Amino acid sequence: MSRTPGALAASAAVVISLSSCANPPRAPTRSPPVVEARWQDVFDVAPELLLVIRPNALRASGAYGPLLKRVQELARERSRVVAATCAMDAIEDADEVVFGLYSIGGDGADADDFIAAVLGVRADIDPATLVDSDGHPLWTAGPSGPVRELVRQRDQQGLPIDASLFELPGRTWVIAAGPARARAREALARPRGRPDPVPIAADALAVLRLDGPSLSSRVPALHAPSPLAPLGRGLQWVSLELATDTHSPVQALLAYSTAGAAAAAESVARDALDAVRRRKPEGFAWIGDATIGRPSAGAAVVLSAPLPSTWLVPLSQASGSNASSASAP
């Protein structure tokens, strides 16, 4: 039976209407990009003290070599966990170390809330093979996760400690203790690609960064009615950078919450610097050579001063005497 043109048109309309009601084709779904765990992720909470050092460069410097030893000694003396896990020993041949301490000036327990990221560890070292002075393993297998985790449960005296070592790609270790351990484990399980916690110039040997409010709360001279109180008012953080060249200045940057707070701090700093220049106090005359400025952003103060050569000899002697006394019976 033949169909009339009207019937054919009606049939075509039905087909078109049915096709328009069908679900449109879906675009192919794409999986979210995989973010690889990086050491920067563990610093999701800003520490009160952040120290970045380049051990190879420091050790190669005849002037600053003792500084590295002294930093290691102070860390071991302050924290039982640092000593028990050999966290500072791991930096001997590293390219760079980022050490975050989450409580400064507190009791001994506070000192065990820390994270150390060691970059450029020797490729031939397996942390699972490291042993203490008695020949016992420093680290044992820990919880399974996206990155290898080793744990340290007790020190050589049998006292409990709470520390983990995470082995990341690129010859990078992360050692975390105290409350920072759980934060590091969570951050490495869900990495977010965080940036470096503090920038460091290519020619810098070390950078020390302190949390401003924490520093202000612990230094009485930064409180009213002290004439230096404007230096602590609105202070966000302080950084101190050590350059490679011993003749280059040590630069301190004080960051403030507002440009007005920075301007008040700059004024007080200039007055203090002028007073030092007039009085030339013994041991601090070198401060008279310092310069003070403001970056274009306005909410910071920059102080630059040459590192006094007289500091290097006492530093070397202090490091040597402490090392001798530590090895004595």
* d(C-alpha 212, C-alpha 220), whole Å: 14
Query: What is the pLDDT confidence band of residue 308, given thresholds at 50, 70 and 90?
Result: low
Measured over the CA atoms of residue 276, residue 279, residue 284 and residue 290, the dihedral's sign is: positive
pLDDT, averaged across the chain: 79
Question: Is the predicted pLDDT of residue 109 greater than 60, yes or no?
Answer: no
Token readout for 287 is 């401060």
**Locus of tokens 């507002």:** 258
pLDDT for 58 equals 82
pTM: 0.76
Burial class (CB in 10 A: 0-12, 13-18, 19+), 56: middle
DSSP letter at 40 equals G
Query: What is the pLDDT confidence band of residue 66, given thresholds at 50, 70 and 90?
Result: confident
Which tops the pLDDT comparison, 147 or 312?
Answer: 147
Question: Is the predicted pLDDT of residue 265 greater than 90, yes or no?
Answer: yes
Token readout for 236 is 């966000």
pLDDT for 15 equals 38
Question: Is cis: bond before 225, omega within 30 of 0?
Answer: yes
**Locus of tokens 């007073």:** 275
Mean pLDDT of the region 214-228: 91
Query: Per mean pLDDT, which of 15-24, 95-104, 310-319 is the most reliable?
Result: 95-104
Closest CA to 163 of 171, 174, 281: 174
Query: What is the pLDDT confidence band of residue 296, given thresholds at 50, 70 and 90?
Result: confident
Mean pLDDT of the region 200-229: 90
In degrees, to the nearest 5, what angle opens at C-alpha 315 toward C-alphas 312 and 321? 140
pLDDT tens-place string over residues 38-65? 999 999 888 999 999 888 888 777 667 7
* d(C-alpha 22, C-alpha 15), whole Å: 11
Alpha helices in 105-253 (DSSP H): 179-189, 212-218, 229-232
DSSP of 208-247, one letter per residue?
EEEEHHHHHHH-GGGSTTSTTHHHHTTEEEEEEEEESSTT
Query: What is the pLDDT confidence band of residue 199, given thresholds at 50, 70 and 90?
Result: confident
Query: What is the pLDDT confidence band of residue 33, given thresholds at 50, 70 and 90?
Result: low
Which tops the pLDDT comparison, 326 or 300?
Answer: 300
pLDDT for 268 equals 94
Query: What is the pLDDT confidence band of residue 86, given thresholds at 50, 70 and 90?
Result: confident
